[in-house]
Amino acid sequence: MAVARLWPAVFSNAVDPGWVPTWMGGKSAPDNLQKGYETQVWLAVSEDEKAKVSGKYFYHQKERPANPIATDVDLQDKFLELLSDLTGFLLLSNRLLFFSCCQVFTLISIRIYLN
């Protein structure tokens, strides 16, 4: 939800794939493995108006209510600050992040060129 709030021009949603039979889920997981990834694909490429949203929570291509704590902006900001401390990257807005990515790409390109 924080990414959706900070990057309004980008679709960003949470997806629950369900308890699916994977190495982590185990062979006895009752959910359908294909249904686990279909929602992610649907949100990424669908022209369906229901998929053209941001800041939502989905399970099997259906929007569901998110845990109310996920909408706590102060908690989101604390979480982003912690992530920034751990990674060294600050997520402020798409413009600032894009600028940072361009800077990194430019530095990598210069380094490759000089070597």
pLDDT above 60: residue 104:
no
pLDDT at 113: 43
Cβ neighbour number for residue 49 with a 10 Å cutoff:
7
Q: What 3-state class would DSSP assign to 6?
A: helix
pLDDT above 90: residue 86:
no
pLDDT at 93: 60
Q: Report the predicted TM-score, pTM, of the whole model to 2 decimal places.
A: 0.72
Give the whole-number percent of the chain exceeding pLDDT 70: 79
- Please give the mean pLDDT across all residues of the chain: 80
Cα–Cα dist 48/52, whole Å? 7
pLDDT above 50: residue 105:
no
Segment 31-71, tens digit of pLDDT: 988 988 899 999 999 999 999 999 999 999 999 999 999 99
CB 57 within 8 A of CB 68: no
pLDDT at 92: 67
